[in-house]
Each structure stands twice: as structure tokens, then as C-alpha cells.
Structure 1
Amino acid sequence: MKDIKNLIQEAEEALKTAFEEIDKNEEARTRQILDIFRNEGVSYRHFAPTTGYGYDDIGRDTLERIYAAVFHTEAALMRPHVASGTAALSLTLFGMTRPGEKIISATGMPYDTLLGVIGTGEGSQPGSLKEMGVDFECVELKDGEIDAEAVERAITPNTSLVIAQRSRGYAWRPSLFPEQFADLADMIHSRHPGVALMVDNCYGEFVCGKEPTDYGADLCVGSLIKNPGGGIAPTGGYVAGKKDMVDRIAGRLTAPGLGRELGSYAASYRPFYQGLFMAPHTVAQALKTALLASRLFENLGMESSPSSAERRADIIQAIKMQSPERLVAFCQGIQTASPVDSMAMPEPWDMPGYDDQVVMAAGTFVAGASIELSADGPIRPPYTAFMQGGLTYTHGKIALAEALKRMISTGALKVP
């Protein structure tokens, strides 16, 4: 049997060129953020907490201008009060639709936790968009690409919003690059001016040189405990896009007429500034960890997506484990190598918002932070592990070694 250390070294040797490309993008995006921070004159006064209504909160307002500059948009809403990516998406969907209007998903069914918001099938919940009289239609991808023609056929006079999910979620399909939204945006804006395009950008920020708003998306939405928080932001979500749309969404967060002018934060804004500044570097570490996992398990005969030879559109690495035992052992190995709760032993459980049992390894400093190293997967064939994050590549490498060790020791994996 090959030594685990040798297996990892063999994988690393094949990834040198890919790692160099990641480093180049990290430098370019860090320069971008540094220039924005300098243009805004960020100083200690921007980190100060506020209370009460939060009128004229310079830390909040400056940070939102920075987010708008990063995404090249007219405005942005960045708030610690938004609890998750799903919460940011829900806020956006309710802000952008009225009763009797219609939403079209251009990338198949959205991520599991959004089904309760939309109100589809068993995911229907009290207070959903369906209950509010908002219709929903799903258009599947065609050969891993957005089928703009099919989306256009689905557009009806009451359609107000087209949504698209950049990452794969729990689906075995390619994640999408920012430029892949260009044709869809052009079709919508040129022939259906009353319809907006929103991109769920979770897991994708800073992976590429540009973002979906650079290619015509009206809105980008994401979570601060994923990429843009840099592993430092303790909570929060963002919406970046056209001013009139961001203002509508902000009215849902606070109140119509008050919008972005309202909202204090009694803790320091420093983690949000520092997290954003660190984001390109942290994302680069996560990408290298994902690449190593891809190559390592490919060398052991497993299928991964994206493969180690493909470009990456987000930080998620999917690996077909082919058995529940392998999936569980992999996640358990990642957990034992976590800096937090390493003693915990994850087992499949009925997780709220998911139709199947899920096994989840997440020994993170910020609860549920996907930019920190975590791994999970639904207990359903082909028992795919979805790994993401890694604050440092070194930790990622150590954790993958522990995962292999666990898989081998439990008999879930035999290494030639």
C-alpha cells in the first residue's frame, strides 16, 4: 500500500501550474480590494460600533460602497443581520417580486434550503412566495450550460425575475463561470426589459477575475460566512446590484422608506472589513485544497467534479464516494482534523431544509462557515462528498490525510 504522504506528494507535483494560476488571480483581486480601501480612506473610525437606529453609520455605509465597487454595481446592501446565504436570497426574492408575478430559475431546481422559501412541493412552508401568490418555473441546464432559449420560452407577461445559481449545490453538474451569464443577461435586457436577473453567487466570489455583475447580472447575492467574509466575518450577507433594486430589497430588511438608512451594529465592523480584505487569499487557499482533493481521489480511482484538470468556478469540490460508508468516513476524517470540535464524530441526521439525511463535518470557528474547511453530503446514491473551504492550504492538506486515514482504517477504502 502506498504511504498517504507519498499519495499527497504525488498529487501536489501534478498541480504546480494550476496553483500558480490561482496565485495570479489572488494577487489581482487583492490589488483590486486594496485600491478600493485606499480610495475610500478606510481608517479605525470605520470599525466603530453603533446602536439604535444607526443613522449616518459611517462604517456600514462605507462598507456598502466598497461592496458596490468590488462588484462594479450602483449600490450594495451588506448587513450582519442577514443570517445566511439563504436569508440573503429570501430577502432578495421577496423584495423583487409582487403577488401574481413569476420567478424563473435558469439553472434547474435551486439549492435545497431555498425550496421552502419558494414553496415548491414538500418544501412549501408558511409565508413562502407561493403562499404570497408568486409563481415559479424551473428551466434545466442544457449540457451544463444555461439554456437561454428555453428560459425565454418560459418568460410570460407576469415574469419579473430570473434567478440563476452559480454553484452546483448538491447536484452533479458544473458550477458556472461569471461569463456564462452574459448571453442570458443580454437576452433579458434586450427583449424583456421588465425582467431582472439575479445570480446566487455563493461559493463563487473571488474565484475568477470578475463577477456575474460584470457580465450583465442585475443582482449578485451571497453570504459573508462564505468567500467574501474571508473566514473572519462572524455572520452576514450581501446584495450588490442596481440601486433601485437594492433599495427595494433594503425596504424588506428594514422598512419601506427607511431602507439602507436604518440598521445599527453594536459590535465592531472590523471583522467585515478585514474579512473582505483577506477574501482573495482565503479563497485561493480553499481552491488549492479543493484541487488537491480532486487529484488525490482521482488517483485513487474516484470521479471528481470539477476534475483536477478543469478550471474552477467556485470553491466546491464534489467527489463520488460510491458508498455511504466512504462518505461518512471521509466526513469523519475531516472532522477529526478540525481545530474546533475535533472530538465530535459526525453521523447522518435529518437536517432541517433537506429531503435526505445529511452527514456534515464542520469544525469551524464561525458556526456553519463554508469558507472554513468543511465537508458534507446527502445520504443518497452515488454518495457524493461536497467539500469546500480551507483557511490555509496546509490545514487542508493535513485534513485530507486524516480523511484518507479514516477511510482506510474503517475499511471503507482500500488503497493499492
Structure 2
Amino acid sequence: MKNKNYNFSLAEEMVISVEEGLKGIFNERSNQIYYKLNNILKIFKEEKVSTSHFNQSTGSGHDDLSRQKIDEVFAKFFLAEKSAVRMQFVSGTHAISSVLFGILRPGDLMLSVTGTPYDTLEEVIGIRGKGKGSLLDLGVGYRQISMDERKNSYEDKLVDFFKHNKCKLVFIQKSCGYSWRKSLNNNQIKQICNLVHSLNPETICFVDNCYGELVEDSEPIINGANIIAGSLIKNLGGTIVPTGGYIAGDSELVEMACCRLTAPGIGADAGINFGFGRLILQGLFLAPQMVHESLKGADLVAAVFKKLGFIVLPEPKSYRSDIIQAVRLNNPHLIQKVCQSFQNSSPIDSFLNVIPSPMSGYDSNLLMSGGTFIEGSTSEFSADAPLRDPFNIFVQGGSHIAHIKIALIQLVFELLEENLIEKESLIFP
């Protein structure tokens, strides 16, 4: 018992000490909330958002005032011509898929400029799982260019590609996904979009904006993107929106994507939000606070794991463009241990065992720690990892830094108890 108490105290002291060293970046991140919330408040006032926009409609939802107002608010937030915020989107992948299938036609060519897309998009494109109606099955061409840290080399690849190909759509994945690369920031997205449009003004720049909303001072539309898509159980849902996704961008492109979601001729002009209008609007109102709690949590996760001797990406105190923190554990047993510990510190389903499992849309078995109020919500504290070499874990979300701190103290304690880390690594001068 004495040894347990000592180990817990040591773990607690270590995490608190790491947190002390992050006070400067924490203050900086907290200060950013003011400007982002102020912008959202201005939009709500300009759009005269009222309790009438919480009302529920039925049927097809033609002339649904709540849906229309929410679309207008999100369009103004993204500085887009049009947006479509829909509960009918089951995930960010569904919203992205609707854009791709809505815009691309047989014979068109799509280019991913950020390498292999996130796992759940592989079957949408047709890289994996043939014969299910993927883009490749329907006659859409696909190519990809890997990200290169050397700017000139990357730009040369892009210029050379456009010299020899007529490209309808360029796909840009802002987040790192399950890859070990830095997530793109909006300045990099601007450079890519500007280059693409200089090579062919007709090419559509489409940004997968998942995990990146409200992290930076701007969003991709003002940085040159023609259309973006994402999920409402990530950043913009503020941890309270139960499902759904969004599309925003050029009016014609958003309408084409909505024609894929509903039907040609209906497009964005129908669809109810099942009485969740208040939650969608309140989620957006809460989102700046929640996103920046996640960012502080990511700094703390990075700093703790780095102190324990692991490689992390991004480094603590880094400029961040999304809420994901990657850690290279190099060990499947350790991944399971970390996920299980985080699950045990979750508010929901803390008693469940985390085991490797297949999941629809993913090629590898996954370990997922997700004891969240909204199932699969990555705006709440969660961690997941594909069980493949080099065994990286991806941690994201967190509605408040205190929860992440509690989970990290418990993790370090358990690692000490099982002799998976050395006590010497926790001692501070």
C-alpha cells in the first residue's frame, strides 16, 4: 500500500510539474478564445438568431427555418457563399464522400496532394475494396502526391502533374490522419490552393477540414479552398451535438454535394434537424472554449509522453493546426495499456475492456479509447490507434484540461506499478 501511495504521488507530482512548465502556452491559447467567440457572437447577432430557430419541423423539412438559419450562420462563420449543416450526415467521411460523389463524374481526375487519405476514405475512392460503387468503380481517375518537407520538391511534383494531366479536383487533408506527418496549417493550404489555381483556375480545391476547425485564426475558404467538409462530433459540435456534419464553400459546389446527399432537384432545400437546432447553435457557441481546452490537453499529453522518453508529434508548445497529438509507442502492448488506462478514466463506459477490433471503413484492427457522452466523439477526450507498425497512438479532444490531467496521472501511476517506465524518468531537478 505504501508503495502504491508513493507511486501515485510520484505520478501526480510529475504531471503537475509538466503542467507548470506549460503555463505560458496555456495562457496564450486561452487568450485566443476571446477573439474566436467574439466573432461567433457577432455572427449570431447579425443573423438575429432566436429561440424560433430551435423549433422542430417534420416531413421533408421544406422551408425549415431552423435549418435555413443554421446554414446561414455556418456560411458566415466560414466566409463561404453557402453551407449545408445536416444531421443526415453520419460522419465526416459521409460529408466528404457526398462532396466527391456530388462533384466528380466518370472521366474526371482527382488528385490527393497530401498522400494517402485517411483510412475511411480508401474505400470511398476505391484504393481498397473494389466493386462497392467507389469513385474508381464509377470511372473517376485517382492519383496522389506524397507530402514533402522540401517545399521546392513538392511544388515541382505538383507543377509536373498539371503539365501532363487535366485535374478536376484536388483533395487536401488538413489533419495528419493516421500518418506520421505534420498536419497542414492554413498558410500551407493557401500556398497549395494558389499554386493549383495558377496552374488551372478551373480545378476545385477541396479541404477535409476535420479536427482543424477553430484551431487557427482563419478557416480554409478564405485561404483559397473552393469547398470544405467536416463532422459535428468533432470541433464545431462543442461536445454536445449528437451527430451530423457540414459542407461549406462555393454555392454551386455545395448544392452539387447536397444533391448527392438528398436527390437532384432537392439538393439543400430539404431535410430536418430533428429538433437539434438549439444544440447545433449552442455547440458552435461553446466550440472555441472546448477546442482550446483540447489544444491545452494536447500540449500536456505531448509533454508528459516526451518526459517519459517517447517521440511525439507535434512537440509540446508547438504551433498547432488541429487537435490531434500523435505519440510513437513502438509497442502494441503499450498501445493497449494506454488506451485501457484512458478508458478507465472516462466518464462513460469506464469499466469496459479495450480490445483490438475491426471497424467499418478501416483496413487494420483498431484500439479505441472512447468513453464519451457522444459515441465516437473526438471533441471529447479519446485515443485510438491502428494496430500496425510503428504502433503510433493518436490522442485528441477533451472538454476540459482537468479531465486530461486526471487521466494522465492515472496512466503514469499504472505504468509505474507495472514497471513499464523507470522512476528516474519522472524525477525533476
- Compute the TM-score of the two structures, normalised by the length of structure 1: 0.96
Quote the residue 2:81 is aligned against. Answer: 74
Q: Tell me if the contact between 1:144 and 1:173 (Cα under 8 Å) persists in the aligned partners.
A: no
Quote the residue 1:387 is aligned against. Answer: 395
Quote the residue 1:102 is aligned against. Answer: 109
Distance 2:327 2:306 in 1: 9
Distance 2:327 2:81 in 1: 39
Q: Tell me if the contact between 1:330 and 1:404 (Cα under 8 Å) persists in the aligned partners.
A: no
Q: Percent identity?
A: 39
Task: Give the superposition deviation at 1:6.
Answer: 1.1
Q: Tell me if the contact between 1:78 and 1:237 (Cα under 8 Å) persists in the aligned partners.
A: yes
Task: Give the superposition deviation at 1:336.
Answer: 0.3
240, 264, 270: which is aligned to 2:272? 264
- Once the two structures are superposed, residues 117-150 of structure 1 have per-residue CA deviations (whole angstroms, 9 ceiling, x without a partner) of 0001x34350111111001101001117692332
Matches within 5 A, 1:248-397: 248-397=256-405
Name the SS of the counterpart of 1:407 in structure 2: helix
Q: Tell me if the contact between 2:11 and 2:410 (Cα under 8 Å) persists in the aligned partners.
A: no
Task: Give the superposition deviation at 1:322.
Answer: 2.0
Distance 1:158 1:124 in 2: 25
Distance 1:57 1:144 in 2: 49
Distance 1:386 1:123 in 2: 25
Distance 1:381 1:163 in 2: 26
Number of equivalences: 415
Task: Give the superposition deviation at 1:327.
Answer: 1.0
Quote the residue 1:211 is aligned against. Answer: 219
2:141 maps to a residue whose letter is: D
Q: Measured at CA, do residues 204 and 403 of structure 1 come closer, stay the same or move farther in structure 2, by a change above 3 Å?
A: same
Unaligned 5+ segments in structure 1 are none
Name the SS of the counterpart of 1:360 in structure 2: strand
- Once the two structures are superposed, residues 99-129 of structure 1 have per-residue CA deviations (whole angstroms, 9 ceiling, x without a partner) of 1101000000000010000001x34350111
Q: Tell me if the contact between 2:169 and 2:203 (Cα under 8 Å) persists in the aligned partners.
A: yes
State the Cα RMSD in Å.
1.5
Task: Give the superposition deviation at 1:158.
Answer: 4.1
User: Greater CA deviation, 177-186 or 273-282?
Assistant: 177-186
Q: Tell me if the contact between 2:359 and 2:366 (Cα under 8 Å) persists in the aligned partners.
A: yes
Quote the residue 1:112 is aligned against. Answer: 119
Quote the residue 2:135 is aligned against. Answer: 129
Q: Does 1:159 align with 2:170?
A: no
Q: Tell me if the contact between 2:159 and 2:199 (Cα under 8 Å) persists in the aligned partners.
A: no
Distance 2:125 2:53 in 1: 37
Distance 1:202 1:258 in 2: 26
Q: Does 1:177 align with 2:185?
A: yes
Task: Give the superposition deviation at 1:189.
Answer: 2.1
Task: Give the superposition deviation at 1:157.
Answer: 4.8
2:407 maps to a residue whose letter is: A
Distance 1:172 1:190 in 2: 29
Q: Tell me if the contact between 2:84 and 2:247 (Cα under 8 Å) persists in the aligned partners.
A: yes
Name the SS of the counterpart of 1:126 in structure 2: coil
Matches within 5 A, 1:227-246: 227-246=235-254
1:163 maps to a residue whose letter is: F
Name the SS of the counterpart of 1:128 in structure 2: coil
Name the SS of the counterpart of 1:147 in structure 2: helix
Task: Give the superposition deviation at 1:350.
Answer: 2.2
2:352 maps to a residue whose letter is: A
Q: Tell me if the contact between 1:330 and 1:406 (Cα under 8 Å) persists in the aligned partners.
A: no
Distance 1:286 1:323 in 2: 26
Q: Tell me if the contact between 2:308 and 2:421 (Cα under 8 Å) persists in the aligned partners.
A: no
Q: Tell me if the contact between 1:333 and 1:404 (Cα under 8 Å) persists in the aligned partners.
A: no
Quote the residue 1:12 is aligned against. Answer: 19
Task: Give the superposition deviation at 1:410.
Answer: 3.6
Q: Tell me if the contact between 2:70 and 2:85 (Cα under 8 Å) persists in the aligned partners.
A: yes
